[in-house]
Amino acid sequence: MSDAESVTRAVTLACRNGLHLTPITALVKKASGFSSDIRIRFNHKVANAKSAMDLMLLGATCGAVLHVEATGEDAADAIDAVDTVLSQE
């Protein structure tokens, strides 16, 4: 049996200009500090939270509801960290 934990949370994107280079850079840096697999879903697209290119292709705008899923030993902490980045203006 696996010790991997899976956590999902809906997060509203607060960045005024949507998901652009500055918040993406912060998000990738934060997400890369976790061993968990972190995925973000928006409009039927799925992005690896550790990939700037994936995140840019989401095209998420301010106020968008993103569905974040983390799977791994530190999934709960990873979700909290991603939520913090996405909730900043």
Domain ranges of the chain: 5-86
- Residue 20 is a catalytic residue: yes
Q: Which of 9, 20, 39, 41 is catalytic?
A: 20
Give 1-47 pLDDT, tens digit per residue.
456 899 999 999 998 899 999 999 999 999 999 999 999 999 999 99
SS3 (DSSP) at 58? helix
Residue of 52, 60, 7, 57 whose CA lies nearest to 32: 52
Residue 3 confidence (pLDDT): 66
Residue 13 confidence (pLDDT): 97
pTM: 0.91
Give the architecture (CATH level 2) of 5-86. Answer: 2-Layer Sandwich (3.30)
